[in-house]
Amino acid sequence: MQSKDNKNSSFILFHQSINFFFDGVKYKGFKGDTIASALIRNNINFVGRSFKYHRPRGIYTCGIEEPNALVQIISEYGEPNTRATIKEIYEGMEVESQNRWPSLDYDFGSINSLLSPLFTAGFYNKTFMRPRGFWKKVYEPIIRKAAGLGKPPQPYRTKSTHFHHHVDVAIVGGGLSALLALKSFIGSEYQVLLIEKDSNLGGILNNSNKISKIFGKESSLWLKETLEEISTSSNIKILTNTLVTNYNYINHLIAIEDLVVGTKPLENIPDQVLHKIRADQVILANGHIERLISFRNNDLPGVMLASSFEKYIERYGVIPDVNPVIFSNNSSTLSLLKTLVDLSCKPQAYIDSRPGNKLEKDLLNVIHENNIPLFTNAKIEGCQGKKKIEEVSVRDSKGNITKIKTNKLCISGGLNPDVHLFTQSKGVLIWDDQYLTFKPDTPFQNTIVIGSAGGIFNYGDLGKDIDKKLKFLNLKQLGKIEFDLIESNDFFIEKLWEVKHEKKSPWSKSFIDLQNDVTTNDLRQGIKEGFDRIEHLKRFTTNSMGTDQGKISSINALGIVSEILKKKISEVGTTIYRPPYAPLSFSSIAGRNTYEFYDPERKTPIHEWHKKNGAVFEDVGQWKRPWYFESKPDESFEEAVQRESLHVRKYAGVLDGSTLGKIEIKGRDALEFMNLIYTNSFSKMKPMTARYALMLKEDGMVMDDGIVSKISNEHFIATTTTGGAANVLSHMEEFAQTEWPHLNVYLNSVTEQFCTFNISGPNSRSILKKVFKDINFDNQNFPFMTFGNYKYIDSKINILRASFTGEIGYEIYVSPSMALALWEDLFRFGEDHGLIAYGTETMHLLRAEKGYIIVGQDTDGSVTPYDLGLEWMIGKNKEDFIGKRSLSRPDTIRNDRKQLVGVIPTDKKNIIEEGQHIILSRNYKPPIKMLGHVTSSYMSPNLNHSFGMAVIQDGKKLINSKAYISSSKGESFEVEIIKPIFFDKNNERLMS
Amino acid sequence: MLIINCPYCGPRDQCEFTNGGEAHVTRPKNPENISDQMWAEYVFFRSNPKGIYYERWVHSHGCKKWFNSVRDTSTDEIIKVYKIIDKKPLPKEFKNKIKTPSGEPKVGSGNFTVKK
Ligand SMILES: [Zn+2]
C-alpha cells in the first residue's frame, strides 16, 4: 500500500514544497522533510545496495541509528555516507544512492549475492588466500571495485570552526527527561549547556503519541510552556542540531553542530561548528534506541522499526504505509497501533511473540475494537519479495504458516538505553532482566544518567529518579509528575533475538548487522571456528563494525551468542563502544587549519628581495628559504646550482642564513653548563672567539651541531641547525631544570632577534672592507673563528669569521629592522666584485665538497662522533658531558660500525646517486651484503665529476680501496673510497 | 584530553604540555666509574607499570617549567603534581592504588564494560 501525509504534524511546513533529486529523478517534499521522509512520501523505499552482497536495502529507521539509508550528497562536494534519515532536504538538492553500478535497479555487484558462500565470516582472511598471487591480481581489484561505502568526496576547503565551552553542567539530549532536569536548573547558580541533535526539543513528546497529557495539559502545550519558562533563565544555553560524538576523560565532550540544516551550504559561511565542552558535571539524557529481530530476509526494503514508523507519522508528518503489519515481542508497540487506528489506518495484522494471556488489556481492546487480525505466540518467520516486501510468513505456536500480503512490516525487538557515551566515559554497565538490555551502572567520571538512557522506561518514576540523582546539587525538586499515557506501566518483553528459518535458499539470509552484511549464521560459524570471545567474534565477523556500530543490533548479537555458548549475556559481556558516536567529517576536525593556515609560514626580512631576484623557495621546517635563484627565466635547477657553486668559489656569494637557530646562554654557571651540554671544551677558549660544536644525546649519538661564540664565561651564543632549533632549546632547558637545577643559567631563544648573512668566497673580504670602512678584516687582525661587535649605521652588529663553504667567509648578525638595508648595501658594494645571492642547494653542495656533515642528512640518530671522524671535537680532558659515557658502551666501540667516507666514481662519467648502496661486487642479484649507503651526493662543477658521502661498515679501514655502488639503472659501477674531503684538502682557501 | 595541574600556572589542557617519561631517573654522578649495565639502566630502561607511575611533564606551551606527577596508568587519573625540587612522594601515600601486574580497578580502566 501507499504512504499518506499526516497533516497534523506541526514540524513539516506543508505549504512550502521543495524539489530535490534522487538518482537524477526529481521529487517533491516539504520544508522540514529529511531525505528519508521525503522519499517515503514519494513511496520510494529502495534507497541503496548493501555493502557485501549488494542486496536491495530500504529505510530502516528514522534517526542517527540508520544502518541502510546512506546516500551521497552530490550538491555538496559529494559527501558520502550521509544518513538520509537525518539530513534535511533543500531546493535543488541532489542525492545519489550508493554501492550500485551502473544503477540502483540493475546492479552488477549483486552477483555477489549468488557468490555469497564465498563471503561468509572471516572471508577477508580466508577465501582469498589461495591460489598464491591471486590476491594482488584478481581478488583485490574486484573487491576494491565492489566494496566500500560510497565514493570519496571532492576536495574542498572546509569552512567549519571550533568553539570551546567551560560550563558547570552539560546535559546531553533534549528530550523529556533532559527538559525536566533543565527545569530544576532554572534560576540556579549553575551554568548549564544543553545539547540536542534534533532541531526541536522534546524528544518522545514530538516523536510519538505515548504521552498525551502532562499535569492534565496537552503534551505539546506543556512543552511550549516549559520551553518558554526555560528561555527566561540566563544561566541556560541550548545548542540544537548538535550531536555529541565523544565523551572523553575529565568530562570533555566533543559535539558537532550543523549550521546548514535544510539549506545548501554557502560559500565562505561556516557550515559546521565543532564544540569542545568541558563540564564539571555531565548529565546524560540521550534516550534509547529500538532494536530489530532477525528473521529470514529481515533486510528487505519495507522492514522498519516500529518506533521509527511512529516517528515518521508524528515528527515528519508521513504515514509510511497505511496498512502495515506489526511484529513485536514487547509492550512498546501499543502507541503505534493506537496512532494508526486514530488516523483511520488499519494494520493488516498484529503479530506478538508473547502468549495471548500476557498481552496488555489496552492493546487487546484496540485490536478487538478494530477487528485487527491478531497472532499471539507467533513470529514473523520471513518475508518474500524482490526489491521490496511483497508477502510475510507468520508462524504460530503450532508451526502453521500464514502468509500475508503487505509492503510494510514494523518490528520491535525491545528497547536499549543509548549507552554509547556512557561506556565511552568508561562507566560500567549492568544487565537488566526486566527490559532485557544493558543499562548504566557505575560511572567513572562525574556522570549522571537520567531517563531512558539510564534504563528508566517507566514514566511514573521519572521525576522521582531525577530528583534523587540531582539532590546533591540542591536544586528545585520536581516531585511527582502526572502523565496521561498510551503506554503500559508494566513493561513486558519476551526474549526473542532470532526466528528460525522455514526454508533455505542461497538468497535467504537472516541479518544481524545490516550495514556490514553480517548474518546470524556468520556468528554461529565464527564461534564454531573458535572465536568465542565477543571482541574476537566482532573482528572475525565484522559484526557491529560499521559506521553505525550496530546501534540497532549489537544486543541481539550478544543474545544469540549467549544462547550458542549457553552463558548469561552479562557473562558474554559487550564489546566496547568506541568514539565517535556517529561519524564526523575530517573537515569539521580540521576546521580553519588548512592550506595556508595549516602551519605558520616563517619568512626572513629579506624574503621579498629574494622573490624579486628569482628565488625558488624550499620549506625548511616552517621557514621559507631560497633553494636557488633563477638568473634567467629558463634556467633549470641543475644549471642554477652549478652556476652558483662555481661562482662562489671564484668570486663571492651571500646566503640568507637568518633561519639558523640562535640560543643565548647566560648566568654565573654558563661555562660549566656549556661544558656539560656540548662535547667540546669551552674552558680554555678565549673570549670573542667561536668554535664548531657538537651536541650528543645521552646515548652517545649526534643530535645537533652549530657554532658556539664565547663572549665571556658567563655569556655564550650558540647556533643550531634551522630544523633543530626548538629541540635543542628544550633539550638544554630539560637538563638545566631537571638534572642541574643548582647551576645558575638562563636560556633564551634569539633566533628572530638577529638576521644572519653568510658571505663567502675569495672576494668577500674586499666587499666587507668597502661596506665597513672602519673594520680591519686582515687575517692577523680578524683570524678564522673570531668575532667582534661593530656598528652598522646606528645599529649594533656582530661579525664572525666562519665558513660553511670552505672559502674565506664571514657571518654578519644584524637586527631585523636594518637587515634589508645591509643586504642591499652588500650588493651595492659587491657588484664590482661579482657578489651573487645563493640558495640552500649550493650551500649543501659546497659544504659537501669540504666533507662538512649535515646533521639529519649524513646522520640519522645512530651515528657517533667517532663514526663521523670528529674525534677532535671531543673534550678529552672533560670529566663529563651529555653522551660521554655512552661513547665507551660496547655498541659504540664495536669495530664494524658504519663510518663516514667519501666516494668518487673511478670512471668519472658515472653519477653517484643519493641513497644507493655500497657493495663489494660488480654483478649483483639480491640478496647481497650491503656495506652502507650514500647520504649526500652532488655533481661538482669545481671537481668536474660526481662525488658522494656515505656511511659504510668499517669505512675507515676501507679508505683507499675500491668498491661498487648500485644505481637506479640497475647496474653497479666502481667507486674509490676516500677520506670525506674533496676540495682544498689543506684548508688553504679557508684560512687565506 | 587530560587536565594537568601545572604547579606554577594551575589546571590547563593536556595539549599545552609535553610528556617527559619516567620521573626520578637521576643521572649518575660519576658516569665514568659505573658499569655499562648501570649506565644502560639510566639511558635506556624505564619502568612501565600498571598503576602508580611517577612521570615528568613540561608545560611547553606555557611557563616551560618541568615538574613531576603521579599518575595511575590504569585509569589515567593524575593523583599528584609536584615541583622538581620537591621530594618524591612515597607509594604508601597512595595506598590501595598500587596494582599487581594484572589487577586493575573495576571502573575506569576501560577493560571492563559490564558488571558481572
Ligand atoms: Zn605552567
Q: How far apart are CA A519 and CA A510, in angstroms?
A: 5
- Name the residue among B66, B75, B109 with its Cβ closest to that of A737: B66
Q: How far apart are CA A750 and CA A747, in angstroms?
A: 9
How close does chain B come to A697, measured CA to CA in Å?
10
Is the pLDDT at A110 greater than 80, yes or no? no
State whether A426 and B3 contact (CB < 8 Å): no
Query: Counting one residue from A and one from B, how many pairs have CB atoms under 8 Å apart?
Result: 90
State whether B115 and A428 contact (CB < 8 Å): yes
State whether A737 and B56 contact (CB < 8 Å): no
What local confidence, expressed as pLDDT, does residue A501 receive? 84
Is the pLDDT at A811 greater than 80, yes or no? yes
A157-290+415-481: CATH architecture: 3-Layer(bba) Sandwich (3.50)
- Name the residue among A576, A734, A739 with its Cβ closest to that of B110: A576
- Name the residue among A252, A278, A444 with its Cβ closest to that of B107: A444
Burial class (CB in 10 A: 0-12, 13-18, 19+), A387: middle
Q: How far apart are CA A90 and CA A72, in angstroms?
A: 15
Burial class (CB in 10 A: 0-12, 13-18, 19+), A432: middle
Residues of chain B with pLDDT under 50: 98, 100-101
Chain B interface includes A434 (CB < 8 A): no
CA of A746 to the centre of ligand 1 (A): 17
Q: How far is the CA of A131 from the CAs of A127, A216, A683, in angstroms? A: 10, 72, 71
In terms of pLDDT, which residue wins out, A497 or A52? Answer: A497
- With contact defined as beta carbons under 8 Å apart, do A482 and A214 qualify? yes
Q: How far apart are CA A948 and CA B44, in angstroms?
A: 34
The set of residues, in sequence order, having a beta carbon less than 8 Å from that of A188 and lying 6+ positions away, is: A235, A473, A475, A476
Minimum CA–CA partner of B68 in chain A: A738
Is the pLDDT at A826 greater than 90, yes or no? yes
Q: Please name which of A671, A688, A754, A746 lies closest in space to residue A719, comparing C-alpha atoms.
A: A754
- Name the residue among B2, B27, B116 with its Cβ closest to that of A249: B2
Mean pLDDT calculated for residue range A199-209: 96
Q: How many CA atoms lie within 13 A of B30 on its CB side?
A: 3
Mean pLDDT calculated for residue range A27-47: 97
Query: What are the residue boundaries of the structural domains of chain A, listed by start?
Result: 157-290+415-481, 511-572, 607-658+754-847, 661-749, 895-992
Mean pLDDT calculated for residue range A262-279: 92
CA of B85 to the centre of ligand 1 (A): 15
Q: How far apart are CA A599 and CA A622, in angstroms?
A: 7
- Supply the mean pLDDT for chain A: 93
Q: How confident is the model at residue A410 (pLDDT cuts 50, 70, 90)?
A: very high
Amino acid A30 reads F
Q: Please name which of A620, A599, A615, A601 lies closest in space to residue A854, comparing C-alpha atoms.
A: A620
How close does chain A come to B40, measured CA to CA in Å?
8
Mean pLDDT calculated for residue range A402-429: 96
Q: How confident is the model at residue A69 (pLDDT cuts 50, 70, 90)?
A: very high
Minimum CA–CA partner of A879 in chain B: B32
How close does chain B come to A792, measured CA to CA in Å?
35
A595-631 per-position pLDDT tens digit: 889 999 999 999 999 999 999 999 999 999 999 999 9
Domains A157-290+415-481 and A607-658+754-847 share a fold: no
Which of A162, A166, A249 to mutate: most B Cβ within 10 Å?
Answer: A249
Mean pLDDT calculated for residue range A534-561: 92
State whether B114 and A252 contact (CB < 8 Å): no
Q: Is the dihedral of CA A859, A860, A863, A865 positive or negative?
A: positive
State whether A574 and B115 contact (CB < 8 Å): no
C-alpha cell of residue A10 = 506541526
Minimum CA–CA partner of A738 in chain B: B84
Q: B34 contacts in A (CB within 8 Å)?
A: 885
Q: Please name which of A633, A634, A604, A642 lies closest in space to residue A621, comparing C-alpha atoms.
A: A604
- DSSP assignment string, A608-652: HHHHHTTEEEEEETTEEEEEEE-SSTT--HHHHHHHHHHHHHHSE
In terms of pLDDT, which residue wins out, A989 or A133? Answer: A989
Q: Which residues pair with A296 in a beta bridge?
A: A382, A510
Question: Per mean pLDDT, which of A119-133, A568-582, A907-921 is the most reliable?
Answer: A907-921
CA of B58 to the centre of ligand 1 (A): 8
Residues of B with CB under 8 A from a CB of A: 1-3, 18, 20, 26-28, 31-32, 34, 36, 39-40, 42-44, 56, 58, 60, 64-66, 75-76, 84-85, 106-110, 112-116
The set of residues, in sequence order, having a beta carbon less than 8 Å from that of A840 and lying 6+ positions away, is: A618, A620, A625, A626, A627, A628, A655
Q: Which residues pair with A213 in a beta bridge?
A: A218, A484
Can you tell me the ipTM of this complex? 0.93
How close does chain B come to A893, measured CA to CA in Å?
12
Mean pLDDT calculated for residue range A326-334: 97
- DSSP assignment string, A259-285: S-TTSPPPTTS--EEEEEEEEEEEEE-
A128-181 per-position pLDDT tens digit: 556 666 666 766 666 666 666 778 888 888 889 999 999 999 999 999 999 999
Burial class (CB in 10 A: 0-12, 13-18, 19+), A780: exposed
- With contact defined as beta carbons under 8 Å apart, do A275 and A229 qualify? no
What local confidence, expressed as pLDDT, does residue A148 receive? 61
For chain A, the farthest-separated pair of C-alpha atoms sits apart, in whole angstroms, at 117
Which of A162, A430, A444 to mutate: most B Cβ within 10 Å?
Answer: A444
3-class SS of residue B98: coil
For chain B, the farthest-separated pair of C-alpha atoms sits apart, in whole angstroms, at 56
- Find the range with the poorest average confidence among A312-316, A415-419, A543-547, B101-105: B101-105
- Name the residue among B1, B36, B106 with its Cβ closest to that of A889: B36
What local confidence, expressed as pLDDT, does residue B101 receive? 47
State whether B114 and A249 contact (CB < 8 Å): no
Q: How far apart are CA A124 and CA A492, in angstroms?
A: 41
How close does chain A come to B64, measured CA to CA in Å?
8
CA of A775 to the centre of ligand 1 (A): 46
What local confidence, expressed as pLDDT, does residue A102 receive? 67
Q: How confident is the model at residue A433 (pLDDT cuts 50, 70, 90)?
A: very high
Buried b or exposed e, range A741-774, using 16+ CB within 10 angstroms:
eebebebeeebeebbbbbbbbbbbbebbeebbee
CA of A25 to the centre of ligand 1 (A): 60
Minimum CA–CA partner of A577 in chain B: B113
CA of A656 to the centre of ligand 1 (A): 36
Q: How far apart are CA A665 and CA A743, in angstroms?
A: 12
State whether A250 and B27 contact (CB < 8 Å): no
How close does chain A come to B92, measured CA to CA in Å?
24
What local confidence, expressed as pLDDT, does residue A109 receive? 66
CATH class of A607-658+754-847: alpha beta
Chain B interface includes A370 (CB < 8 A): no
CATH class of A511-572: mainly alpha
Q: How far apart are CA A254 and CA A275, in angstroms?
A: 6
Q: A884 contacts in B (CB within 8 Å)?
A: 31-32
State whether B115 and A885 contact (CB < 8 Å): no
Q: A699 contacts in B (CB within 8 Å)?
A: 43-44
How close does chain A come to B29, measured CA to CA in Å?
9
State whether A737 and B84 contact (CB < 8 Å): yes
A854-904 per-position pLDDT tens digit: 999 999 999 999 999 999 999 888 999 999 999 999 999 998 899 999 999
Is the pLDDT at A671 greater than 50, yes or no? yes
What local confidence, expressed as pLDDT, does residue A112 receive? 64
In terms of pLDDT, which residue wins out, A32 or A114? Answer: A32
Sequence-separated contacts (24+) of B23-32 with Cβ below 8 Å: B23/B54, B23/B55, B23/B56, B23/B68, B23/B69, B23/B88, B24/B54, B24/B68, B24/B88, B26/A739, B27/A698, B27/A739, B28/A885, B31/A880, B31/A884, B31/A885, B32/A879, B32/A880, B32/A884, B32/A885
CATH topology for the A661-749 domain: Alpha-Beta Plaits (3.30.70)
Chain B interface includes A533 (CB < 8 A): no
Q: How far apart are CA A463 and CA A450, in angstroms?
A: 10
Q: B31 contacts in A (CB within 8 Å)?
A: 880, 884-885
Q: A252 contacts in B (CB within 8 Å)?
A: 1
Is the pLDDT at A28 greater than 60, yes or no? yes
CATH topology for the B3-97 domain: Folate-binding fold (3.30.2270)
What local confidence, expressed as pLDDT, does residue A38 receive? 98
Dihedral (Cα; A902, A908, A911, A914), 10-degree rounding: 0
- With contact defined as beta carbons under 8 Å apart, do A693 and A718 qualify? yes
Mean pLDDT calculated for residue range A931-941: 97
Mean pLDDT calculated for residue range A393-410: 95
State whether A248 and B43 contact (CB < 8 Å): no
CA of B97 to the centre of ligand 1 (A): 27
Burial class (CB in 10 A: 0-12, 13-18, 19+), A863: buried
- Nearest 5°: the CA angle A827, A828, A834 is 55
Query: What are the residue boundaries of the structural domains of chain B, listed by start?
Result: 3-97
The set of residues, in sequence order, having a beta carbon less than 8 Å from that of A937 and lying 6+ positions away, is: A848, A912, A913, A914, A946, A947, A948, A949
Q: How far apart are CA A233 and CA B43, in angstroms?
A: 59
Q: Please name which of A703, A423, A641, A450 lies closest in space to residue A544, comparing C-alpha atoms.
A: A423
3-class secondary structure for A297-330? CCCCECEEEHHHHHHHHHCCCEECCCCCEEEECE
How close does chain B come to A427, measured CA to CA in Å?
6
CATH class of A895-992: mainly beta
- With contact defined as beta carbons under 8 Å apart, do A24 and A35 qualify? no
How close does chain B come to A876, measured CA to CA in Å?
13
Q: How far apart are CA A915 and CA A352, in angstroms?
A: 73
A732-783 per-position pLDDT tens digit: 999 999 999 999 999 999 999 999 999 999 999 999 999 999 999 999 999 9
State whether B114 and A880 contact (CB < 8 Å): no
Q: Please name which of A778, A849, A807 lies closest in space to residue A990, comparing C-alpha atoms.
A: A807
Q: Please name which of A345, A449, A361, A456 lies closest in space to residue A406, comparing C-alpha atoms.
A: A345
pTM here? Answer: 0.90
Tell me which residue has cell 526466528.
A499
